[in-house]
Amino acid sequence: MAAKTPAIPVLVSLLVLALIEVSQAGGISVYWGQNGFETTLNKTCETGLYKYVNIAFLNKFGSGRIPELNLAGHCNPKNGGCKVVSIAIRNCQKQGIKVMLSIGGGLGQYSLASKADAKKVADYLYNNFLGGTSPSRPLGNAVLDGIDFNIELGSTKYWDDLARYLAAYTKPGRKVYLSAAPQCPFPDRYLGAALNTGLFDYVWVQFYNNAACQYAPGNTRNLLNSWYRWTTSIKAGKIFLGLPATKAAASTGTGYIPPWELKSKILPLIKKSPKYGGVMLWNRYFDKIGGYSTVIKNSV
């Protein structure tokens, strides 16, 4: 009988290994704010499709610029018209959805001139969109969950400092979440240093508009190799597969993955990573007209 006892720890070890191989459950992140026909923020959250919503974009800030929010077609922040979005933000959060403010974007005027400028921008973001106070607050008094870095132009410097200053605002019971949307070529030109801080909770890598690291019909290798590099190279909470919700959603028209291919050939493999967080879609408008998230939700 005594000779059989070592089998118990062996069985436990095998069980642990099996559990590690079990696919990770994830959620869908989406960008909202760049098309007036994409439905309101409230209705976007009420679809039940999304776990994270990035309000896009604060696309003018830093280097002495007066910050500007651009919610194309939804409301005009210059006359206080976007303060009503507060009600929707709170409703989304009550449903367990994280709501982030996305800064940057493909069009805009933004950069950080120095470490001191990064601190100034962090203070502005905290007081106007997070847990601080300000008489302006473009989106009203609702407290957003965090800041999303969608940096695609301008200077490559000081984004790591901005991340550190924002993370320092975390308080007991009120965490400031950080997310980022780097391009898939590794490391990202603009966000490489920021991601190396290890402070980001969610990283939705844009696996599109870049032939070397995206899906192509009949070829999943480049994308999967890039996914592996991202998930094994950076310290981050969760990493997401960022995709265009339709072919037209990608500026180059490339990187779109038919949903049945995503579900059968890609998700089963990437979900084995302990870093897997889900799928990010650009954007709510294209997802609304194409129904991508509806098709993939139960597989994510």
pLDDT of 60-108, one tens digit each?
999 999 999 999 889 999 999 999 999 999 999 999 999 999 999 999 9
Mean pLDDT of 9-30: 56
Q: Indicate whether 10 belongs to any domain.
A: no
Mean pLDDT of 31-35: 97
> Which of 300 and 15 is assigned the larger pLDDT?
300
Catalytic residue, chosen from 38, 46, 152, 261, is 152
Is the pLDDT at 7 greater than 60? The verdict is no
Could you tell me if 242 and 205 are in contact, meaning their C-beta atoms sit under 8 angstroms apart? Answer: yes
**152 among known catalytic residues:** yes
**Type of residue found at 283:** N
Compute the 3-state secondary structure of the chain and give helix, strand, coil in percent, each to the nearest 5.
35, 20, 40
Residue 22: its pLDDT value, please? 52
Q: Indicate whether 167 belongs to any domain.
A: yes
Residue 201: its pLDDT value, please? 98
Mean pLDDT over the full length of the chain:
92
Q: Indicate whether 249 belongs to any domain.
A: yes
Is the pLDDT at 286 greater than 50? The verdict is yes
Q: Indicate whether 1 belongs to any domain.
A: no
Is the pLDDT at 15 greater than 90? The verdict is no
CATH number at residue 284: 3.20.20.80
Could you tell me if 242 and 288 are in contact, meaning their C-beta atoms sit under 8 angstroms apart? Answer: no
Q: Indicate whether 229 belongs to any domain.
A: yes
Q: Indicate whether 256 belongs to any domain.
A: yes
The residues pairing with 30 across neighbouring beta strands, listed in sequence order, are 53, 281
Domain around 283: 27-297
pLDDT tens, residue by residue, 133-191: 999 999 999 999 999 999 999 999 999 999 999 999 999 999 999 999 999 999 999 99
| Domain total of the chain | 1
Q: Indicate whether 18 belongs to any domain.
A: no
pLDDT tens, residue by residue, 203-251: 999 999 999 999 999 999 999 999 999 999 999 999 999 999 999 999 8
Q: Indicate whether 7 belongs to any domain.
A: no
With the C-alpha atoms ordered 121, 124, 129, 132, is the resulting torsion angle positive or negative?
positive
- Burial letters for 157-173: b for 16+ Cβ neighbours within 10 Å, e otherwise? bbbbbbbbbbbebbeee
